[in-house]
Amino acid sequence: MKGKIKTDIDLIRFFEVTTACKRDVYLYTDNGDQLNLKSKLFQYVVVVVFEESDLEMLIGFVEGDVEI
């Protein structure tokens, strides 16, 4: 399952949810990055990229088990 991320998302809440997911949650950028959002470092990366660019991002679950 994949979905596009809204630009006005509450990132803190978003990461709380992705951290609580049982399975890995990935964020895909149109630069070809596949960022595992369970990683704190990648969460920080997402913060930076969100603030700094108009990059389009897609979120996907390996096996989606929660709703955001």
Tell me if 48 contacts another protein by CB under 8 A. yes
Dist CA 12 CA 58 (whole Å): 17
Around 5, how many Cα atoms within 13 Å sit in the side-chain half-sphere? 25
Please tell me whether residue 54 binds another protein under the rule CB under 8 A. no
Residue 41 and residue 5 in contact, taking contact as beta carbons nearer than 8 Å:
no
From 1-9, 44-52, 58-66, give the range in contact with another protein by CB under 8 A: 44-52
Residues binding another protein (CB under 8 A): 11-12, 15, 19, 29, 31-33, 35, 38-45, 47-49, 51-53, 55
